[in-house]
Structure 1
């Protein structure tokens, strides 16, 4: 099981059912029964998916009488997006340097002649 928050986020997002649950929760909070009605899997299976999402910090769960409400949490998504953007900037920088190198007059030909 992943130990850091970013790994837990990506591991939770790796499953299409969990992504569908998150999409549903982006529309508003829901109970386990409300979520389960949208999927062709058992109630215990939905509960297991919710536990993974909760462990990753992607949802929060609260009790309201006998119902347990589930709601989406944005912070882990923000952290994942920030990490992906940092990787994008790093790769873009590398590609810009490669482009500049390839555009230098004569160097590409000299390198190719060797």
Structure 2
């Protein structure tokens, strides 16, 4: 499985996307804090975090007796650059050209 595959697999699940959103709002959360936001078992949250860690989307660091979970947005950015950006650039440019042309036509009238 490639890195892209791991990221897509991780992002495919709504619970994992919710966990990423939680970490985006406030980074460095414990498992207990994340678990309190979901209606699932501690073990279930741990399984989701494991998939996110395997994809490189979450980094876990020890702080004393606690493990803190941090968002790593780099894999999402790489997916964006590889899969989204290149497909939208041509369309965005065409729309910008159309907008300019329509504005020029309005000025001529």
What is the TM-score normalised by the length of structure 2?
A: 0.77
What is the TM-score normalised by the length of structure 1?
A: 0.74
Gaps of 5+ in 1: 97-114
Number of residue pairs aligned between Structure 1 and Structure 2: 91
Greater Rg over alpha carbons, structure = 1
DSSP-derived class of the 2:40 partner: coil
Partner of 2:24: 26
- C-alpha distance in structure 2 between counterparts of 1:44 and 1:50, whole Å: 10
Partner of 2:73: 74
Deviation at 1:88? 2.9
- C-alpha distance in structure 1 between counterparts of 2:87 and 2:46, whole Å: 34
Gaps of 5+ in 2: 95-109
DSSP-derived class of the 2:34 partner: helix
Which contiguous aligned blocks of 4+ residues in structure 1 show a shift greater than 2 angstroms? 87-90
- C-alpha distance in structure 2 between counterparts of 1:39 and 1:51, whole Å: 16
Q: Which one has the bigger helix percentage?
A: 2
